[in-house]
Structure 1
Amino acid sequence: MKRFIYIITDRNRNNLHVGLCSDLLKTLQFYHQMPTLFFDSAQQLNRLVYFEEISNEDLAMDRFKFVSTFTRPQKEKMIRSVNPDWVDLTIGLNYENSGARTRPMLRPSISAARKLVTF
């Protein structure tokens, strides 16, 4: 089962929250639905700036525990290594799962579309 380790922050990058989940999109939707659950309205955690996908549950838990012990400069260095501009990665995840990249329907065969017209 896949697990995700993520770092989410507010718009001013004051708070860096490390989390572990099995469904990243549902977790991000939860943060958007409950913006003031953990912090006040000025510090809403709404920007995904880093995530890792790990296939093994035990390895994911070990990695989560390890990343959770990082100091703020260590977390910032890890984020900047893959996301130097601190872009919100939620936009890309929503695009990939929106169906914009689904396989197009097959075109009907030309012979089926042609009909003989008799007068």
Structure 2
Amino acid sequence: MYYVYIMASQKNGTIYIGVTNDIIRRTYEHREGQLTGFSQKYRVKHLVHYEEFQDIRDAIQREKRLKKWNRAWKIQLIETQNPDWRDLWFDLNR
């Protein structure tokens, strides 16, 4: 499985979009500040949205599209599935 995911610093805060084949590991790396660069600088530690894909090409294509979206569309996508901006990390680790 491959995942396109959105991390946030807080509700309506900074948003980061990425792709991975291990959502639990990657989310952990964000949470612990192990990834240098943008996500560490802006403290994007909360998993607020993710989508699953069977094919890496589909996941990468979706990631690229989402990154081109304006901020309002990204927020609407998050709030459609996760209106309270809950940290979905806890759902993954049950």
Bin of the TM-score, shorter chain as denominator length = 0.7 to 0.9
CA distances 1:19-68 after superposition (whole Å, capped 9, x unpaired): 0000000101111222683344xx41111000000111111111111111
Q: How does 1:1-119 map to 2 (within 5 A)?
A: 2-34=1-33, 37=36, 38=38, 39-40=40-41, 43-95=42-94
Higher strand share: 2
Structure 1 stretches of 4+ with a deviation exceeding 3 A read none
SS at match of 2:19: strand
Gaps of 5+ in 2: none
- List alignment gaps of at least 5 residues for structure 1: 96-119
Partner Cα separation in structure 1 for residue 35 and residue 59 of structure 2: 27
RMSD in angstroms over aligned alpha carbons? 1.6
Calculate the TM-score normalised by the size of structure 2. Answer: 0.88
How many pairs are equivalent? 92
TM-score (norm 1): 0.71
- Greater relative contact order (Cα 8 A, min sep 6): structure 1 or 2? 2
Alpha carbons 1:35, 1:44 under 8 Å: kept? no
- Judge which range, 44-53 or 10-19, deviates more: 10-19
What secondary structure sits across from 1:81 in the alignment? helix
Taking structure 1 as reference, are residues 36 and 58 closer, same or farther at Cα in structure 2, changes over 3 Å only?
Answer: closer
- 1:13 deviates by 3.2
Partners of 2:35 and 2:25 lie apart in 1 by 17
